[in-house]
Structure 1
Amino acid sequence: MSDTKDLEHTDAFYTQLFSKAWVTMAIIAGLSVISLWVVPVLKGHVWLSWSILVFAMIKTFFIVRLSFDQLMKIIGQSHLLSHILVLFGLLISLIIISFAIDFTSLYHFNDSNFKSEQYIDGMELAVFLEYLYFSTITFSSVGYGDIVPSSILSKTLVMLEVALRFFVLVFGIANINQIRINNED
């Protein structure tokens, strides 16, 4: 069986995708832990809040690299819509969750980074869920306005998420003509 057939009809696609994606996911997890639990503890050093932006840029680089590498492999070897959807589902999840963690870190560092109509109590899960919602709304470009970035740092993070969404969307649309709907020969 050829490599293309192997990729289309076996678990080779998922093995290949997750063997490449684990590095990106590990980097995102590691930087998220640092930005969520280490940086906010050091509130006295304002310049450290900018490390959250630096971490977000590093994560963005790895997400873009993963999307470019994997989409090119899928288009070159498989062309299956289901494989493209799995890749984009993974990328969208990584982007939304990663930026939700960044927004949560900024909130913990200084709650004036965002204006919100709703008071968020100190529960970690409630704060994270609020910024997961904000990240999802930002990614989708809906922007209800119930949470608004108010600092240069938070606005820059929001712009970075929107730029990453734009990249993923445009990159996917640019290659849509090479996708097969089914796997019939």
Structure 2
Amino acid sequence: MNEPKDIEYKNTFYIQLLSKALPTIAIIAGLAILSLWVTPRFRDALWLSWSILLFAVIKTYFIVRLSFDQLMKIIGQSHLLSHILILFGLLITLIIFSFALDFTSLQFFDTKNFKVSSEEGMSGFKIFYEHLYFSTITFSSIGYGDIVPTSVLSKALVMLEVGLRFFVLVFGIANINQIRINENK
């Protein structure tokens, strides 16, 4: 079996994907920690809330880079539909969780960033769950309207998530003709 096709038949694909995804996951986690625990402590510095948007733009860059790198490698070496689906599952999960953390950070920073139809005094986990739901609904472009971004900053984050979703879907569709559906050899 030659080296380029190694990715197709062994666990090499999973090792390679994990090694490429770990730096992106670490960056998302690090920026989430900054957004969730550091930024809200400085509520007097309103300009600091914009760092959440800056962090989201940085995370978006790394997610897009991971998409390009890995998809081109899979198409060049594997062509397997299962590998493409795993990559897109990982990307979608990263996007939804990343933006849910950003939305939660904004909610912690100032409750006026989102109009949420829920009870007062929610726990941090419940707030995160509400924004995970909102991020999932936003990614799927359903938009029920029970959670509404109200500030310029929250609307910018929503637009960034929608733009990233559009990129992932268009990029995947544009490369679909290079995927081999018949995995039997």
TM-score range, shorter chain: over 0.9
2:93 aligned partner: 93
1:180 aligned partner: 180
Indicate the percent of aligned positions where both proteins have the same amino acid.
Answer: 69
Q: Displacement of 1:41 after TM fit? A: 0.9
CA deviation digits over 1:76-95, x for unaligned, max 9?
A: 11000000010000000000
Q: TM-score, normalised by structure 1?
A: 0.97
2:14 aligned partner: 14
1:148 aligned partner: 148
- Alignment: residue pair count: 185
Cα RMSD for the two superposed structures: 0.9
Q: Displacement of 1:148 after TM fit? A: 0.4
Q: Displacement of 1:109 after TM fit? A: 0.2
Q: TM-score, normalised by structure 2?
A: 0.97
1:40 aligned partner: 40
Matched residue type, 2:136: T
Whole-angstrom distance in 2 between the partners of 1:76 and 1:123: 47
Matched residue type, 1:155: K
What runs of 5+ residues in structure 1 fail to find an aligned partner? none
SS at match of 2:184: coil
Whole-angstrom distance in 2 between the partners of 1:182 and 1:32: 40
Detail structure 1 runs of 4+ shifted over 4 Å in the superposition. none
Whole-angstrom distance in 2 between the partners of 1:17 and 1:108: 33
Whole-angstrom distance in 2 between the partners of 1:119 and 1:104: 16
SS at match of 2:148: strand
Asked whether the 8 Å contact 1:121–1:127 carries over to 2, the reply is no
What runs of 5+ residues in structure 2 fail to find an aligned partner? none
CA deviation digits over 1:126-148, x for unaligned, max 9?
A: 00000000000000000000000
SS at match of 2:79: coil
